[in-house]
Amino acid sequence: MPDISELLEQIGENLRKSGNFDEKVYTDVPILRKGSDIPKPPPEKKEKSGFTELRELEYRMLEQFEPLEKRFYDQAKLMENYEDECEYEGDFSLFVLTYSDLSNKRLRGYFTWRKHYRAGEVTPAPEPFIQLYCYELINGVGAADPMDAHEKLLKVRKDYPEKEGLAKSMSVWLRDLVVVNGLPASLLDDDPEIQADKAMEVLMECTERTDSELYSALTLLSSYKLERSAFRKQRPEDFAEAMCAAYRALDAHYGRNGEETLFTRIFGHRVQCNYYMFRGALYYDRSESSAREYTVNGIRRYINRYGVWFLDTYHTNRSANKRLGELLRSAECIIRVKLGAKTKLGGSTATKAETAVIERALDELAQAKKRAEADRIVIDVSKLGSIRSAADITRDKLLVEEDEPVFEQEPAIAEPGEEPDTSESSELPLTAEELAYLRHLLYGAELPSGAVPTLLADAINEKLFDMFCDTVLDMNGGTPAVIEDYEQELKGAIPE
């Protein structure tokens, strides 16, 4: 086969001999040229779209073996302000980690939905779209600062409550976002986990908390639902008061030996475990590697040791604690008996020692309530007028003219064989048994046979209240005793 250069030269020689080009002016440009020698026009430059750059970046990153979190962050920053207008109709379910997991059609649909959502339009969206958007906010993409990211993530959870599984993950991500960026812990007040932490703090400090706080904490944390108790519905105040008294008594009982408290028996001991921030999401930590801590409350503390996170807390079931539930059910069994419930409750798992502690606490509570009732002062304003009138009469009797003779009444002498009427010989409106009991307290006389001191003391306080405007016998010590301020006055009214 002849060489192409020889062939072209031969063709050119034949053309020159033909005489067709005698009048033409020739240059050094060959008549026939190879295709490779013909100059080509420069290619038209096409501007790359952000979408195209994203796909190219994906391939480059795969070649560089960069971590998935960093790949996502760089891609998200590249597409932070990208907008499209290619809506994706329909729904689909897919576990999405990064943009590479979406086809071109779905990815364009995502950027279209994101543009409208940022503009305030809340429209139905496939869960992977919402998932990708949350990943961006977690990494600070599309947010002015961490607080703005928190507010936007909170809005997503509110706008799409039907995505229940994703909503649960968002609750964890919101908590982690606060911790990682050092935002105020008050942002977590509505977090169910943090509310459970606060309830645990109340149980830990039960002696310093009110009954209302303690009962609410018990209700929140227990697997045994106190609000469903039929007896509680009949006597809610007495039930709550008794339950709190029982818990405090058990707490004091287990706290005496100093080895294991009631709290640790229920929730275990505090430990530190590895913690993975934004579990189930893509998060690229760009903070400097250093040691730092974030304390949420007395129960929960996060620790970062050079890029590795730890959670310092009580790792136990908070929302429905079984041990606490068994304890409260056992307490209710005893409470029903002590408060005289018509129906009893079985299934108590309390030990003999725990049962004795709870019973003693309920007895002390009943005595305290009884003393408080006896010490309660009630003033009937409607009787003030009659009291003033009686006082005026008494005053007039005491005011005697100087020349008016005063005669002393001779004491009555009992007939032989007749018992003296102690109720008439005293100015006090008391029965013979009550007077005898007062003599016992005042002079150490013999206690009347069959006397019940607490009942007699209650009756004496009630009958003498109008006269002294106060209780004359103190019941706080468990054994009635005469109040010192009224001792001489009582002795004057009751002879030895």
Examine the pLDDT at 337 and tell me if it is beyond 50.
yes
Helix axes 146-159, 127-138, angle to 10 degrees: 160
Examine the pLDDT at 418 and tell me if it is beyond 50.
no
CB-CB neighbours of 461 under 10 Å: 19
Token pair, residue 276, equals: 């993975």
Within-domain flag for 397? no
Phi/psi at 81 (5° precision): -110, 10
Average pLDDT, rounded, for the chain: 83
Within-domain flag for 1? no
Within-domain flag for 451? yes
Q: What's the average model confidence in pLDDT over 216-234?
A: 93
The domain boundary, picked from 156, 183, 210, lies at 183
Examine the pLDDT at 190 and tell me if it is beyond 60.
yes
| Range scoring the smallest mean pLDDT among 65-74, 241-250, 341-350, 383-392 | 383-392
- Rounded to an integer, what distance in angstroms lies between the CA atom of residue 198 and that of residue 68? 37
Domain span holding position 350: 192-267+319-374
Do 73 and 179 fall within a single domain?
Answer: yes
Residue 241 backbone class (left: φ over 0; alpha: ψ -120 to 50; beta: rest): alpha
pLDDT band at 408, cuts 50/70/90?
very low
| Range scoring the smallest mean pLDDT among 226-240, 259-273, 332-346, 367-381 | 367-381
Q: What's the average model confidence in pLDDT over 486-493?
A: 80
Residue with tokens 């935002």: 183
Q: What's the average model confidence in pLDDT over 241-263?
A: 89
Phi/psi at 302 (5° precision): -105, 140
pLDDT band at 374, cuts 50/70/90?
confident
pLDDT score recorded for residue 260: 81
- Rounded to an integer, what distance in angstroms lies between the CA atom of residue 335 and that of residue 353? 16
Examine the pLDDT at 266 and tell me if it is beyond 70.
yes
Do 205 and 344 fall within a single domain?
Answer: yes
pLDDT score recorded for residue 437: 85
Do 130 and 230 fall within a single domain?
Answer: no
pLDDT band at 419, cuts 50/70/90?
very low
Share of the chain above pLDDT 70, in %: 78
pLDDT in tens, 22-73: 555 555 656 555 566 666 655 544 445 566 788 777 767 665 678 889 989 9
Contact assessment for residue 281 and residue 169, using Cβ atoms and an 8 Å cutoff: yes
- Number of domains into which the chain is organized: 3
Phi/psi at 454 (5° precision): -65, -40
pLDDT band at 410, cuts 50/70/90?
very low
Token pair, residue 151, equals: 């507010």
The domain boundary, picked from 161, 183, 205, lies at 183
Within-domain flag for 42? no
Do 211 and 132 fall within a single domain?
Answer: no
- The residue ranking higher by pLDDT, 364 or 494, is 364
Do 78 and 159 fall within a single domain?
Answer: yes
Going from the C-alpha of 341 to that of each of 232, 238, 243, 244, 354, the distances in angstroms are 10, 12, 15, 18, 21
The domain boundary, picked from 150, 183, 216, lies at 183
Within-domain flag for 324? yes
- Who contacts 177 (Cβ-Cβ below 8 Å, separation ≥6)? 138, 146, 149, 150, 153, 183, 278
Examine the pLDDT at 469 and tell me if it is beyond 80.
no
Closest CA to 101 of 77, 141, 50, 135: 135
Q: What's the average model confidence in pLDDT over 233-257?
A: 92
Contact assessment for residue 240 and residue 229, using Cβ atoms and an 8 Å cutoff: no
pLDDT in tens, 288-298: 767 889 999 99
Do 179 and 206 fall within a single domain?
Answer: no
* 334 three-state secondary structure: helix
Examine the pLDDT at 390 and tell me if it is beyond 70.
no
pLDDT in tens, 105-140: 999 999 999 999 999 999 999 999 999 999 999 999
Do 93 and 130 fall within a single domain?
Answer: yes
- Rounded to an integer, what distance in angstroms lies between the CA atom of residue 225 and that of residue 206? 19
Do 175 and 116 fall within a single domain?
Answer: yes
Within-domain flag for 308? no
- The residue ranking higher by pLDDT, 417 or 478, is 478
pLDDT score recorded for residue 50: 65
Within-domain flag for 15? no
- Rounded to an integer, what distance in angstroms lies between the CA atom of residue 97 and that of residue 455? 77
Do 57 and 158 fall within a single domain?
Answer: yes
Do 365 and 244 fall within a single domain?
Answer: yes
- The residue ranking higher by pLDDT, 14 or 471, is 471
Do 196 and 343 fall within a single domain?
Answer: yes
* Amino acid symbol at 458: D
Report for 1-15, 38-52, 480-494: range of highest mean pLDDT: 480-494
Token pair, residue 293, equals: 């801590």
Token pair, residue 403, equals: 């020349």
pLDDT band at 82, cuts 50/70/90?
very high
Q: What's the average model confidence in pLDDT over 186-190?
A: 95
pLDDT score recorded for residue 283: 94
Examine the pLDDT at 343 and tell me if it is beyond 60.
yes
Contact assessment for residue 153 and residue 138, using Cβ atoms and an 8 Å cutoff: yes
Q: What's the average model confidence in pLDDT over 233-249?
A: 95
- Rounded to an integer, what distance in angstroms lies between the CA atom of residue 278 and that of residue 180? 10
CB-CB neighbours of 298 under 10 Å: 12
Token pair, residue 273, equals: 């475990």
Closest CA to 185 of 21, 264, 300, 287: 300
Within-domain flag for 4? no
H helices of 339-481, in order, are 352-375, 384-398, 422-425, 432-443, 453-468
Do 246 and 166 fall within a single domain?
Answer: no
pLDDT score recorded for residue 360: 95
